[in-house]
């Protein structure tokens, strides 16, 4: 057991392996597809070959007669809709009457082998009536009919948002410089190595168990309860260790419901393992986003007003889309002070696989736009872009214009670290043609302030059991998707109880055995389940300490829990083993079990839409990216990235670094090559649903990374810890764009920054053509924005509530925009 550092911590903050490392490395870990049960059968899904069509007739008789086929399902067998958000219950396990993208599930077969199931789905005859496909945001705006869904704000517009914090017009009047820029951010997908898989088993006493590669077993539990019309108490959902998620396994999915229903029908365990192509159709990845940004600044770069518009291509279903749309406008205010802020966001339904939450959920797109625009502003103001940012940082412990409460704020130190580490001052605008550096910053939430469905219960719960062998078991609903959340639970409990983290038994992500944790999304797990574990462990210590104090005859305040012992801190040889301490406590008070839970602090904003953005703590990141650009081909290579992340406090610096470097890697993919491309002229089919042709970097394309961890403990985090799973992704894409400009003097105002775009911009520059060396969108879609909800910022005397419109205005607004909870 390690000795305590200066801060008194023995486990927390120490670099060590994950508690599940050995089984992962040896191949012992069972992922969902590794599971096998006696009599198990296999499920395959028939998917729509049309992007938009009505189902006229389905005939399953030929498939049902096929030898080896045990069950066939169609939409009418599972008619109840579901969806991750209460406002978007728009999915069916199998299409009921309409298909909305190529790959939409239509029917499913269970058979004794995967081969037979795969052949039998082609014996299902489906007659379709094709409908006009909606291919893009512009197409959705121009064609309100045919509607993809019969709900939403109008036609094929799923959601329209308009919020104004202070009068931006006044801010623009006060500005020295007002810039307007257009940006586009292409869609991309998560690409976890593990393809989704699920196995369902239905017992003779009518209990259903589902094992699944999911990040959110609790929400899958709720969806199964609803669609199967079964009491949740008879359904058990177990999230297997995930081979990567990145947000792609956060929705309840068709195949999870289908195998459950087929298990109930056939009485056999039923398994589905998706092909890579099907994973592309599950998608829920980055929304392609058009952006228009108007920003006013003073001579030294202080933002007097910002007006931000986003238009998101949502794909065929709601998914997290309403939240995603709010997120494209939420976090602009938490890095640099923004005096007045207006956000207008729209999400369109289109006939493509649904978009949703991918790492950074809705914030990489606006962050790209904001950080590239900052670079342009700094150049126009003749300021160093790092210095300009440093000068206008949001102060710690403050409230933003849109009522986000910033606690600890380590961005200044992050910027200083990467500026010094990269030798920025000697290199920015000073490297030879073809080489350049760029800087960008970002921030992300450490968990969302509100749950996905309204309730006032804790977001995370932990039960802790200390047995007389000295063993400790932590039970928590949290799901380890490779990020190390099981390890975080063990480290935190080990720290408090003074035992070896590798001796702690961690039981997670099982709705029968573990208290609810909302899931591994929104970078919430270390902070929320960590706090719950901390509370449970402290309560256990409070149960154990008095009995040891009695035995040793020392005050409890002098007891130290460390090295698997409980001892007198002033006289360390006087003590007892941890096991003896538990035995003493058990003898005195009975079985030693405690609970802990965590509920985030209430949000400061109280306007409609204020639910997206608040977080117990914000992480901060800054990155400098170096690029080499070939002027004759436009090919961009990234040899090195310097990145600093304000983590608050590392629970384990090794896994924190892993998340930072993994974010850099994913960020480079989005910056340079990844594209969810569709053949718009060929029925909106996905251009290349394979890992070979969907271009994402491999380890051989990965650059050198210099990582700096900035620790500035946040009072809301366990031991001061904040998130790291998503934030460090965000500065990479804009830093690459800014570096390309530094290298060859052209702006690519969209991602991915492909060689074609760079070369086109270089030619335009050489020819003195429009834009003088820019590649990017030339217009923003025409969107019928509603009147904004007006909220005065805190410094204008606001209290977080919207200004009440006059009664007449309110009536008009109510008609135009029916109230909707999100």
Partner 1 sequence: MLRLPAFEYLQPASIDEALRMKQNAGPRSQYVAGGTDLYPNMKRRHEEPKTVIALGGIDELGQISLESDAPFLGAGLTLTEVATQPRLRTTHSAIAGAAGLVSTPLLRNMGTLGGNLCLDTRCNYYNQSYEWRKSIDFCMKKDGTVCWVAPSSPRCWAVSSSDVAPVMVALDAQYTLVGADGERQVPAAGFYHDDGIEFLTKRPEEILVGVKLPAPNGWDAMYLKLRRRGAFDFPVLGVAVYLEWNESEVQDARIVLGGVASYPKPMTDASQLIVGSTLDDDVIAAAAHAAFKPTKPMDNTDFGLAWRKEMTRIYVKRALTELRTRHRDA
Work out how close the CB of 353 gets to partner 1 at its nearest, in angstroms, rounded to a whole number.
13
Work out how close the CB of 371 gets to partner 1 at its nearest, in angstroms, rounded to a whole number.
25
How many degrees, rounded to 5, is the angle at CA 168 between CA 162 and CA 172?
140
Q: Which is nearer to partner 1, 381 or 688 (CB)?
A: 688
- Lookup: tokens for 15: 């670099």
Cα separation, 472 vs 476, whole angstroms: 13
Work out how close the CB of 684 gets to partner 1 at its nearest, in angstroms, rounded to a whole number.
10
Cα separation, 774 vs 785, whole angstroms: 28
CA dihedral 74, 79, 83, 88 (to 10 degrees): 120
Q: Which is nearer to partner 1, 423 or 633 (CB)?
A: 633
Kindly state whether residue 756 participates in binding partner 1, applying the rule CB under 8 A: yes
Residue of 594, 597, 596, 595 lying closest to 467 (CA atoms) = 594
Reduced to 3 states (helix: H, G, I; strand: E, B; else coil), residue 552 is helix
Work out how close the CB of 47 gets to partner 1 at its nearest, in angstroms, rounded to a whole number.
6
- Considering only the stretches 58-66, 69-77, 273-281, 405-413, report the one whose residues sit in contact with partner 1 under the rule CB under 8 A: 273-281
Q: Which is nearer to partner 1, 133 or 742 (CB)?
A: 133
Work out how close the CB of 120 gets to partner 1 at its nearest, in angstroms, rounded to a whole number.
13
Choice from 229, 426, 693, 808 touching partner 1 (CB under 8 A): 693
Work out how close the CB of 629 gets to partner 1 at its nearest, in angstroms, rounded to a whole number.
14
Cα separation, 741 vs 440, whole angstroms: 13
Kindly state whether residue 699 participates in binding partner 1, applying the rule CB under 8 A: yes
The answer to whether the peptide bond before residue 146 is cis (omega within 30 degrees of 0) is yes
Kindly state whether residue 49 participates in binding partner 1, applying the rule CB under 8 A: yes
Q: In 180-253, where does DSSP find H-type helix?
A: 217-228
Percentages of the chain per state (helix, strand, coil), in multiples of 5: 30, 25, 45
Kindly state whether residue 811 participates in binding partner 1, applying the rule CB under 8 A: no
Kindly state whether residue 304 participates in binding partner 1, applying the rule CB under 8 A: no
Choice from 7, 633, 767, 821 touching partner 1 (CB under 8 A): 633
Q: Which is nearer to partner 1, 550 or 679 (CB)?
A: 679
Cα separation, 452 vs 274, whole angstroms: 26
Site size for partner 1 (CB under 8 A) = 36
CB-CB contact of 56 with 129 (8 Å):
yes
Q: Which is nearer to partner 1, 270 or 534 (CB)?
A: 270
Kindly state whether residue 254 participates in binding partner 1, applying the rule CB under 8 A: no
- Considering only the stretches 127-135, 180-188, 270-278, 464-472, report the one whose residues sit in contact with partner 1 under the rule CB under 8 A: 270-278
Choice from 376, 683, 764, 765 touching partner 1 (CB under 8 A): 683
**Residue-wise DSSP of 482-499:** SS-HHHHHHHHHHHHHT-
Kindly state whether residue 606 participates in binding partner 1, applying the rule CB under 8 A: no
Q: Which is nearer to partner 1, 611 or 697 (CB)?
A: 697
Kindly state whether residue 352 participates in binding partner 1, applying the rule CB under 8 A: no
- Lookup: tokens for 51: 């992007």
How many degrees, rounded to 5, is the angle at CA 342 between CA 781 and CA 134?
25
What is the β-pairing status of strands 435-445 and 618-629? antiparallel
Kindly state whether residue 773 participates in binding partner 1, applying the rule CB under 8 A: no
Cα separation, 718 vs 702, whole angstroms: 32
Residue of 743, 675, 765, 799 lying closest to 313 (CA atoms) = 675
Instruction: Compute the residue count for the chain.
Output: 822
Choice from 84, 490, 685, 729 touching partner 1 (CB under 8 A): 685
Kindly state whether residue 673 participates in binding partner 1, applying the rule CB under 8 A: yes
Work out how close the CB of 810 gets to partner 1 at its nearest, in angstroms, rounded to a whole number.
48
Choice from 425, 687, 801, 820 touching partner 1 (CB under 8 A): 687
Choice from 275, 298, 398, 817 touching partner 1 (CB under 8 A): 275
For residue 223, give every residue at least 6 positions away whose Cβ sits within 8 Å of its Cβ, in sequence order, or none.
82, 252, 256, 257
Residue of 87, 550, 582, 568 lying closest to 347 (CA atoms) = 87
Q: Which is nearer to partner 1, 300 or 756 (CB)?
A: 756
What is the β-pairing status of strands 69-74 and 472-476? unpaired
Kindly state whether residue 50 participates in binding partner 1, applying the rule CB under 8 A: yes
Kindly state whether residue 697 participates in binding partner 1, applying the rule CB under 8 A: yes
- Lookup: tokens for 260: 């459950």
Residues between 97 and 136 with contacts to partner 1, criterion CB under 8 A: 102, 114-115, 118
Give the binding site for partner 1 (CB under 8 A): 47, 49-50, 102, 114-115, 118, 273, 275-277, 632-634, 673, 679, 682-683, 685-690, 692-693, 695, 697-701, 754-756, 759
């Amino acid at each position: 057991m390690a000795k305590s550092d200066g801060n008194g911590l023995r486990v927390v903050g120490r670099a060590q392996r994950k508690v599940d490392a050995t089984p992962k490395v040896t191949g012992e870990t069972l992922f969902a597809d590794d599971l096998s049960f006696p009599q198990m059968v296999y499920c395959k899904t028939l998917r729509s070959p049309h992007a938009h069509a009505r189902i006229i007739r389905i005939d399953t008789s030929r498939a049902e007669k096929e030898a080896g086929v045990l069950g066939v399902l169609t939409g009418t067998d599972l008619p109840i809709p579901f969806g991750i958000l209460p406002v978007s219950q728009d999915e069916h396990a199998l299409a009921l009457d309409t298909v909305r993208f190529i790959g939409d599930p239509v029917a499913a077969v269970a058979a004794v082998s995967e081969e037979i199931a795969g052949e039998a789905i082609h014996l299902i005859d489906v007659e379709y009536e094709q409908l006009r496909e909606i291919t893009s945001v512009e197409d959705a705006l121009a064609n309100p009919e045919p509607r993809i869904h019969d709900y939403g704000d109008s036609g094929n517009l799923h959601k329209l948002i308009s919020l104004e914090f202070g009068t931006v017009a006044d801010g623009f009047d006060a500005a020295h410089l007002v810039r307007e820029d257009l940006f586009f951010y292409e869609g991309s997908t998560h690409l976890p190595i593990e393809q989704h898989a699920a196995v369902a088993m239905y017992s003779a006493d009518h209990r259903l168990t589902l094992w699944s590669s999911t990040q959110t077993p609790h929400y899958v539990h709720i969806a199964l309860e609803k669609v199967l019309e079964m009491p949740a108490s008879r359904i058990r959902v177990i999230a297997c260790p995930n081979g990567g998620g990145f947000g792609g396994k956060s929705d309840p999915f068709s195949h999870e419901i289908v195998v459950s229903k087929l298990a109930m029908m056939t009485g056999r365990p039923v398994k589905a393992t998706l092909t890579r192509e099907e994973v592309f159709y599950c998608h829920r990845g980055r929304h392609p986003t058009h952006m228009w940004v108007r920003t006013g600044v003073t001579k030294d770069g202080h933002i007097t007003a910002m007006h931000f518009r986003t238009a998101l291509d949502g794909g065929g279903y709601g998914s997290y889309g309403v939240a995603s749309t709010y997120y494209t406008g939420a976090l602009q205010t938490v890095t640099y002070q923004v005096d007045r802020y207006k956000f207008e966001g729209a999400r369109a339904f289109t006939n493509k696989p649904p978009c949703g939450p991918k790492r950074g959920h809705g914030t990489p797109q606006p962050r790209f736009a904001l950080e590239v625009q900052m670079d342009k502003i700094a150049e126009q103001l003749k300021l160093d872009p790092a210095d300009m940012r440093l000068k206008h940082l949001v102060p710690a412990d403050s409230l933003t214009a849109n009522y986000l409460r910033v606690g600890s704020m380590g961005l200044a130190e992050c910027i200083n670290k990467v500026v010094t580490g990269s030798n920025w001052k000697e290199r920015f605008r000073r490297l030879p043609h073809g080489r350049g550096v760029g800087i960008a910053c970002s921030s992300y939430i450490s968990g969302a302030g509100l749950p996905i469905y309204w309730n006032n219960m804790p977001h995370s719960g932990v039960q802790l059991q200390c047995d007389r062998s000295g063993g400790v078991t932590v039970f928590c609903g949290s799901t380890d998707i490779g990020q190390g959340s099981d390890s975080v639970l063990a480290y935190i409990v080990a720290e408090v109880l003074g035992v070896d983290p590798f001796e702690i038994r961690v039981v997670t992500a099982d709705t029968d055995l573990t208290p609810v944790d909302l899931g591994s999304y929104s970078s919430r797990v270390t902070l929320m389940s960590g706090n719950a574990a901390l509370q449970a462990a402290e309560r256990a210590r409070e149960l154990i300490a008095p009995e040891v104090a009695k035995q040793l005859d020392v005050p409890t305040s002098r007891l130290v829990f460390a090295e698997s012992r409980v001892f007198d801190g002033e006289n360390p040889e006087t003590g007892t083993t941890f096991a003896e301490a538990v035995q003493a406590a058990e003898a005195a008070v009975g079985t030693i079990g405690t609970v802990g839970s965590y509920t985030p602090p209430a949000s400061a904003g109280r306007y409609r839409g204020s639910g997206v953005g608040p977080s117990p703590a914000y992480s901060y990141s800054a990155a400098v990216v170096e690029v080499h650009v070939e002027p004759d081909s436009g090919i961009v290579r990234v040899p090195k990235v310097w990145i600093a992340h304000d983590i608050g406090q590392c629970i384990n610096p090794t896994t924190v670094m892993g998340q930072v470097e993994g974010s850099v890697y994913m960020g480079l993919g989005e910056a340079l090559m990844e594209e969810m491309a569709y053949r718009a002229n060929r029925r909106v089919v996905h251009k290349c649903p394979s890992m070979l042709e969907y271009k994402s970097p491999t380890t051989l394309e990965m650059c050198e990374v210099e990582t700096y961890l900035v620790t500035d403990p946040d009072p809301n985090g366990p031991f001061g810890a904040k998130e790291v799973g998503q934030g460090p992704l965000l500065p990479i894409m804009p830093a690459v764009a800014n570096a390309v400009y530094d290298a060859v003097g052209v702006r690519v105002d969209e991602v991915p920054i492909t060689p074609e775009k760079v070369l086109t911009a270089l030619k335009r520059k050489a020819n003195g053509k429009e834009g003088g060396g820019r590649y990017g969108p030339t217009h923003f879609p025409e969107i019928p924005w509603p009147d904004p909800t007006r909220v005065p910022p805190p410094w204008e005397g606001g209290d977080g509530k919207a200004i009440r419109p006059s009664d007449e205005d309110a009536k008009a607004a109510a008609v135009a925009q029916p109230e909707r909870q999100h």
